[in-house]
Amino acid sequence: MTQAEPRQGGVTLTRTGADFLIWSHHAEKIELCLFDHTGEEEIARLPLERTEGDLFRLHVEGVHEGTRYGYRAHGRYSPEHGHWFDPSKLLIDPYAKELDRPFRHDHRLCVFGEETAPLVPKAIVTRDDPAKVSPPVFGPGAFIYEVAVKPFTWLHPDVPEVQCGTIAALAHPAVIAHLKRIGVDAVELMPIVAWIDERHLPSLGLTNGWGYNPIALMAIDPRLAPGGVKELRDTVAALHAEGIGVILDLVFNHTGESDKMGATLSLRGLDNLSCYRHLPDNPGVLVNDTGTGNTLACDHLYVRQLIVDTLRHFVLNTGVDGFRFDLGTILGRTATGFHSSSRTLHAISADEVLRDRVLIAEPWDIGLGGYQLGNFPEPYLEWNDRARDTMRRYWRGDSHMTGQIATALAGSSDVFARHGGTQTRTVNFVAAHDGFTLLDLVSHSHKHNGQNGENNRDGHDENFSWNNGVEGETSDRTVIHNRRRDVMALLSTLFASRGTVMLTAGDEFGRSQRGNNNAYCQDNELTWLDWKNADEALIEHTAFLSHMRKRFNVFDKNGFFSGDGDIEWLSASGEPMTIPEWEAANGATLTMVLATKDLQKKKLVRLAIAFNRSQVQQEIALPVAPGRKWQRLATGRSQTSLRLKPRSVEFFVEQ
C-alpha cells in the first residue's frame, strides 16, 4: 500500500532536488523561502508558478532532506472582505510533516506588516518512510485509554528524564506494563500536532497543555516528539507488539489562528476566505461554531482534501489504528447546517487507506443545530455524553433514573437505533479530559477554575457532581472512603456497559485537578499524573473490570439486545422488573443478567451485574437453574445469600 501523491500540497524529493506544491485560489503570488540549517537565516526567496487548479509549483535544485522552508503569500489585505494577505508573514506549509521548533505566541504575529520569520517555526523537508499498516488491533467493546502525552509521563519515576513527557515514553516497558495491567486495548492520544497558546495565556503565565489549538495539521509538535514522525511510528509499532492500538485525537474544526485579532501563521495567510467559514453576507465576519474564534470550512474541496491527506499520512507513515475527531459535527457542516451524508464525512470513511480505521466523532459543536449525537453515519462511533450524564445522575441519587441507566447499560438504543441502526456506536465514558476528573466528580459540587484567570467563568457549570459531604480536599477518613467507593461504583457501571468504553489516564488511580474542570491551560502539577501516590485499590479494581470484559464475550459485541433470553432485568426479589418498579422515583437496586460465553471456562453462562445505589446494604435474589449456583466474580466463592454493600456494583457468574 502506498500513498497517492498529494493533490494540493507538499514537498516531493527528487533525484536532484525537490518539487514544492501549494494551493491558493485568492493569492496573487506565492514565494518559497529557504533557510539555513539553523532556520534563522533566509538564504533564498523564489517565486512559484501558478498552474491549473490554483496550484503553485516550483522545482528547486539542491534541496535535500532536512532543508528548512516557509512561504510568503501576496494579495489583497482587506480583512473586512475576508482577505489577510501579508507577505511580511512567514507561513507554515499546511502539508508540512515536521517543524524545527514549537510555536510561541507573540503579538507581532497578529500585526499587519510585522516581519515574523524570526518568530515562527520552519517546515522541514522530509522523506516518507512507510510504516507497517495492519488492520486495527482492537474491535467492538474495546477499552480506550485517553492520554495527554506530556502529563502522562512527566513525573513517571521509571521513565528516563530525557523521555519524560514524550511520545517515545509511551513505549517504555514500565508504561506498557501499566497499560497491560489494566487491560487497555487502545491508547487515544490527545492532540499531538503542532499547536500555539491562546493569545491571552502568556500574560497570565499559563500555557496550553492539551494541544486543542493546532496550526500545522500533519506536523507533530517537537515538544512531544523530538524524533518527529519516526518517534510516533516506532511507538505505534512497540504498542502494537503488545496488542495495544493507537488512536489520534485530531482537531479539524478550527486552528490556532483564532478570530480577527489572531495570528497569521498558515491557512489565514494563504487563503483565509476559502479555508474558514464566514457569514454568507459578510465575509469579514468569521463564523465561530467552535467557540475558538474561527471554523474550518470542511466542505471546501481544498480543506476536505487536506483533512483526508492528513489522515492518510498518519496511517501510512505511522501505522495508527484510528482517529477521534474533536467537535466532529464541523466535519459534516455545510452552509445549510450539519448533514450526515456530507462529502467530507464520506470522503474519510470511503478512502481506500482509511476505510478500515476506527473513526470516533465528538458529535457536537456550539453552532446552530450543533448537537448531533446519534446522527453520524456508520462506521463512525460517537462520544455519548447522554450516557455519561445518566451514569453520573444515577449515582448522584437523582430520581427516576432506573430506566435511563438500563438503556445506557444496554448500548443506548434510544440514540443509535433512531435511523434504523441495529448496532450501538456508543463510546461510553464517565469522565474525560474536558470536565471533572473521576475523583473530582465525587469530591466537588461545583467547579473551581479560578487558576485559569477567567474568574471561574470558563468550564461547564452543570457537572452532575457531588462532594460526599465536604467540598474538595479533606482528611476525613469517612469522606475519603465514601469517595473511593463512589469512584469504584462509577468505574463498574462504565465497564458493565455495552459498547466501547473510555477512561482518561489517571482516573484509574484517583487523580485530582482540585476541582478545575477546564484544565487545558494548566501545564503543571495540577494535570501531571502523580504516579508515586497512585491509589492501588482503584488500579486493581480497574484491572478486575477490564479483564472481566475480556472474559465474557457479551462485551465484545455491539448489536442491540433482543430481550429474547439475551438480557434480563430483575428487581431485588429476583423477579422481572414490573412497570411500577421501573417508574419508581428512587429505586435502590437493579440487576442486569446477561447470557454470554465465559471464554475462560469455554462454556455458556449467565452473568449477573447487580447495582445498589443506596446508602445501606441491600439483599437481592437471583433465579437459580437446576444444578447451578452463583459465584461472586471478585472472590470466586459460591453465594447463598446475595448481599450488596452500600453504593456498590457486584458481579456474579452462574456455574
Residue 49 has, within 13 A of its CA and on its CB side, a CA count of 7
**Nearest residue to 426 via CA among 523, 579, 336, 557:** 557
Query: Quick check: 197 and 511 in contact, CB under 8 A?
Result: no
Three-class HEC string of 119-173:
HCCCEECCCCCCCCCCCCCCCCCCEEEEECHHHHHCCCCCCCCCCCCCHHHHHCH
Report the alpha-carbon distance of residue 48 to residue 22 in Å, rounded: 9
Q: Three-class SS of residue 183?
A: coil
Q: What are the phi and psi torsion angles at 16 (to 5°)?
A: -115, -5
**Nearest residue to 131 via CA among 11, 246, 224, 17:** 246
Q: Identify the residue whose cell numbers are 473586512.
A: 80
Instruction: Sort 25 into a burial class: Cβ within 10 Å, 0-12 / 13-18 / 19+.
Output: middle
- Which are the catalytic amino acids? 326, 362
Query: Quick check: 246 and 187 in contact, CB under 8 A?
Result: yes
**Nearest residue to 215 via CA among 245, 187, 243, 191:** 191
Q: Are strands 186-189 and 245-250 parallel, antiparallel or unpaired?
A: parallel
Report the alpha-carbon distance of residue 472 to residue 92 in Å, rounded: 44
Q: Three-class SS of residue 548?
A: helix
